[in-house]
Amino acid sequence: MRKDETLISHLDWPLFIAFMTMLLMGFATVYSVAYNPEHPNIYSFDEKYGKQLIWLGVSLFLGLVVFLIDSDIYRKFAFPIYLFTLVLLVVVLFMPAINGAHAWIGIGSMGIQPAEFAKISSALLLAKYISELSVKQQTTRNVLGAAMILLVPMALILLQPDAGTFVVFTSFLFVMYREGLTFDPIILGVVNSFPGVRFKETWVGSHFIPIMFVAIFLSVVTLLLSNVTITLPFISDIKIPGSMGVILTLLILAIIALVFIRRFGTKRDRSRATIIIVLGLLLGGGLSFGVGAGFSSLAPHQKDRIELFLGLKEDPNGKDYNRNRAMAAVGSGGLIGKGYNKASVSSVESNHVPESETDFIFCPFAEEWGFIGTLVLIILYMFMLIRIVVIAERQRAGFNRIYAYCVAMILFYHFAINIGMNIGFAPVIGIPLPFFSYGGSSMMSFSMMMFILLKLDSQRKDVLR
């Protein structure tokens, strides 16, 4: 049997068929939403669906190329690939800004977005790095090493700025946690730096999640109170911003709790639950300060998106127009939709929903196919994610498993946040819907990502360890 026949026989056909189905559904949606009756042919390359057809062909060709490459190449050359994308991320900063962001490198009338390909290279290098570590080697140095693989491209992406891709990179933290590479050593060092406090690493890891939930909750409260001013009783001349008031209150409560426990509490009073609350308050105060400082440093349009999402301000016909019209388009689809190529609210021609062929492409699909169609789409996405997890768990090599989980988390972030943007459950941060949104860079990167995964899986039995 020839080698190519072996690869085809070992190909995960359920995932491949689901992937190709998504590509066809995505192209059909782009054709429908950008349809021009004067140029109805799909080969009208002046239209967006004609360009999307080119990108689709290029993506499948690149996918075939990466599938034919021996899977061991991706592990051996993960670092050079990573460095190459870092160079592109630096180069793109010197390119002319498009829509306020230095994110594209122009090629003729088109361009590529290096940040999309940085996801692949970061996933490959992270998989290589973690797979070469032992769980018993979970030290501060190793954790920071994995974190630096992510922080360098994240910093360059933030300089563009591209908040959407920056957020997607945080998905890799879940992969690190899944592989046992957590931030416990760092947290343990910070916690044990307090006088009289000594905890084992296992205790910190098992209680880290509830502490973080307390801290995140308090940070969200800080954002909600960011525009509120507190006047101190009996002192009318002093006014404190609401977010700063939260920080001061948390710190005072934490200090009082610590003093009370130390002075009057018994050993039983110094229970782990009490310490969790205290540490959560302290961490919440720190995060509240960080959230407040980070929020104040955001660009005006980014502040507006977060405030509109949290309900701190209303501007349905102005700054919140996109999200408002997107939800209207989704709702207008009803149960069974209006039918293919019959979207009225979200079509490019009506322009009621800006960027309806890119970030808001879920709108025309929902308007055309209704609740039933969107349910089918969500089920198909969930099938892909579950199938990728199944593929990850059957791998013999740690590199293959970790890369598969990286792909699953990247797709999940894009899928959840994009649909969340369209139905008002997430702020608008510019994240494409995988295999659907118009654009060459995202189509090529997602396709290459999937074909690399299919290649690694097809040769999983060749790995001895």
CA–CA separation, 440 and 25 (whole Å)? 16
Instruction: Give percent of the chain with pLDDT exceeding 90.
Output: 31
pLDDT confidence of residue 33: 87
For residue 183, what pLDDT band results from cuts at 50, 70 and 90? low
Compute the average pLDDT of residues 98-108.
74
Q: Rounded mean pLDDT of the chain?
A: 77
Q: What is the pLDDT of residues 191-210, one digit of tens each?
A: 555 555 555 554 445 555 55
- Choice among 76-85, 132-141, 214-223, 287-296 with the minimum mean pLDDT: 287-296
321 against 458, higher pLDDT: 458
281 against 436, higher pLDDT: 436
For residue 1, what pLDDT band results from cuts at 50, 70 and 90? very low
Compute the average pLDDT of residues 113-132.
93
291 against 166, higher pLDDT: 166
pLDDT confidence of residue 426: 77
pLDDT confidence of residue 314: 60
pLDDT confidence of residue 346: 74
pLDDT confidence of residue 6: 59
pLDDT confidence of residue 276: 57
Q: What is the pLDDT of residues 405-421, one digit of tens each?
A: 999 999 999 999 999 88
- Choice among 126-130, 156-160, 317-321 with the minimum mean pLDDT: 317-321
> Does the pLDDT at position 280 exceed 90?
no
> Does the pLDDT at position 390 exceed 90?
yes
pLDDT confidence of residue 317: 60
For residue 90, what pLDDT band results from cuts at 50, 70 and 90? very high
- Choice among 12-16, 81-85, 222-226, 272-276 with the minimum mean pLDDT: 272-276
> Does the pLDDT at position 3 exceed 90?
no
> Does the pLDDT at position 383 exceed 80?
yes
pLDDT confidence of residue 321: 65
Residue type, 316: P
Compute the average pLDDT of residues 389-403.
91
pLDDT confidence of residue 214: 60
Instruction: Kindly report whether the global pTM for this prediction surpasses the value 0.85.
Output: no
- Choice among 32-36, 113-117, 317-321, 452-456 with the minimum mean pLDDT: 317-321
Compute the average pLDDT of residues 264-272.
54
